[in-house]
Chains A and B, each alone.
Chain A
Amino acid sequence: MTPDRADRADGAPLPAVLTLSESELAGDAAALDAAWRDRPGLWGWLTAVDHKSIGRRYIITAFLMFLAGGIEAALMRAQLARPENTLLGPDRYNQIFTTHGTTMMFLFAVPMMTAMGLYFVPLMVGARTVAFPRLNAFGYWTYVVGVVFLYVSLFANTGPDAGWFAYVPLSGPQYSPGHRVDVWAQVVTFTEIAALCAAVNVIVTVFKMRAPGMSLNRIPLFVWAQLVVAFMIVFAMPAVATGSTLMLATDRAVNMHWFNPAEGGDALLWQHMFWFFGHPEVYIIFLPALGMITPIVETFCRRPVFGYTAIVMANITTAFFAFGLWVHHMFATPIPELGESLFTAASMVIAIPTGVQIFCWIATMWLGRARLTVPMLFVLGFIFTFVNGGITGVMLASVAFDKQAHDTFFVVAHLHYVLLGGGVMPLFGAFYFWFPKVTGRILNATLGKVHFWLFLIGVNVTFFPMHILGLEGMPRRVYTYLAPTGWGPLNLVASIGAVTIALSVLVFLINAIRSWTRGEPAGENPWDSSGLEWAVPSPPPSYNFLHSPVVRSRHPLWDTDVELPVVTGLRTDRKEVLITSTFDAMPDSRHSSPEPSIWPAYLALCMGVVFIGSIFSPYYVLGGLGLSMIGLFGWGWQSSKGIESELVAVPNGAMVERA
């Protein structure tokens, strides 16, 4: 639906065609840049609110966490490479595997996927920024506090050591004295706050800031995936935040009894709270990755994706079912048989919507002319690896099999096939695809192919043997094993695979650093892709779009219009964004967007004082809350800066001008 042609504010009709001279265009661009760019220098860095600055930092920080988690994985594989190895002792090993899981799930995967959304969603929907730029910055800084806290603790020999899902009673005050589990509980809190801020931002950006004409059935599929995942975050993250902050941490700090059976508490309650979040978490990582695949397949097969509506429906169905599977992590606990059957059925059913999406991409490749570029290779690698992981998932959904394989390396193999195949492979594909947009330069394709093959081989060589090890009975989370078990050779193979993965990531790093500085310039749209993000220069200017775009199809850049439909009249002298109606995306109003601000970083630090301090004394909580009052006041003070005259739509439908 295209908005009807409206008249100008002064009643005069809009011109049919507007041809602007080069100097007029340059003038507009300079004015917009002056209004939108963040300030220079260190202060500018701390006060930045541009969604691209924050998004880029988020992506780089999350990637550093991927490297840190990878180093921990390499240490574990070195320890397990041969029986009775003495590289890591049991205590160190416990900290390393817990930090590896915590880092990869909470500090790499979820933040990376939300960060990709925070960078690209506004560009893809034709907006100048996100709905709440300061909230976005606050989320990022909160996440950074969590990152720093976890790694400082690890190097201080206070790294969490009760596993990434911190089961009670092991993680409770009786069996985990000291502060290691407290560190885990608070790191989780920081990352949940960050994810929730990102989710609200994405939802409101998609609901209210889409380009005119981008009705629900024209939203790009990556944006659909981000929207669905944002809703999942809203309902999943509170469960673990409640479990870790309001229950586990309070049991440990102020002697509550949530999980203490002696006083009526219940250890299984923790498992319910954790997995009610933990299972949707897998899809929170996986659905955005699927969203990245569609534009890659469309672009390199030169045709619109097959089954747009089916893919949207598959996303929504997956999100619903994702909340109905958590008990399959608890099959080894006394769950009623009827419950087991229900959760088995749900765990098998969820394979269907994912299958639908995979068949849609295969049909697109079949009907189009596929070019085997690096992003496409990663898509094919995803299909191969992920389908393997999906099949072992269906196996584990069966209670009888699950009871045999529970807590063995079979589960480790399954979850790594799913997460590396379903999450990291599409993510690497997306890096090759969108790197030119973010940096203005193209990643080297030859190095990309080396990266791909090393990674694909490495993942399979590392994790395939773990299936067999698991079936042979090797439990997960053991720091060593005896030679007569016969597990030595397969463990050595897995460790050689890990070296291959490390090499592949090294190749990628070299490629990224080299291409960022000396790569081939990309131009606006190097792949001749169809999304709005490719309509702006690479890297995008501070204001994203010189003119607010209007869309008339799902593939605006593949339309063959002679003229570019736009909305005119947004202010160029200050930050102003166009707001559209929720369903049909008709132009509705324009809002001012906040200036750079130090308060998000300040408030994130205050949250650090509150949550880290809560481990030691309630007085830190009070102190931190007191300090955050200053921040809240400053935030409000900045918002309440006067703006000259405003056109107001009062609820009865009238419009009035107010100074």
Chain B
Amino acid sequence: MTATRLALTLTVALGLGASAVAAADKPDPVADAKAFQQFFVRKFPKVAFDDFVNGPYSMNEDMRRQWEEKEQFPPYEFALEAGKEMFSKPFKNGKTYADCFPNGGIGIRQTYPYFDDKEGKVVTLELALNRCREANGEQPYSYVKDEMAALTAYMAFTSRGKRFDIKIPDDPRALEAYENGKEYFYTRRGQLNFSCASCHIQSPGERIRAETLAPALGILNAMPIYRSEWSGMGTTSRRFVTCNSQTRAVPLEPQSDEYRNLEYYLSYVSNGLPVSGPGARP
């Protein structure tokens, strides 16, 4: 009798232990986002929550003043105007970008990227724009700058102030994409052995050479950006590619599964923060 009880107790204990391990391993994006946001709020108690979307300007008063002055004549203005014109100009078949997006593509930036259950993958705004072009018989644009940056600048501008609202549907593939994005974010790579988190979690507000590092929270809300370092506009794809190169890692192809998943993760944990793009950075 005692032996039976002992065996039963052990079985229950082992079962509970296994459940606890399984629960710890199960992805929980809601808890992740809460912990992620709390980390930054606690680390930077003087920074207003919405201000995290302004990257280094939320961390450095001098930089902020210069940026505010620059915003009188923002360097992304030409791209914004070009993007507006391109967005409304019909394709050769008479259709426009508006035909490819909900609400005619206006004020929808905050819902990208999304998980497409038919494809079983993450779809970013840049990808959706090129797919729209190809579906209408047009050549896709480069993902990193120029036309793509102009188009996304315009679409971001029409969504300014709207809060990121990235959804993770109840689909194991969506959770897997989110988890893979998280893994990419925290994984060290390149000869310099840096992860995205090394700069944007551990060191926001600190300098790396001449640059002040932006916090990861809200970092994509300002995309696309004009960077003085680039002397031009760059998309989210360009940001990822450049970050990888700077760590001496060979960058992946823009819109590779890894980058799409990374964008999904980073956008999700910034849910609730407003769109501020297009942005300008040193």
Indicate, yes or no, whether A interacts with B.
Answer: no
Residue numbers of B with Cβ under 8 A of A are none
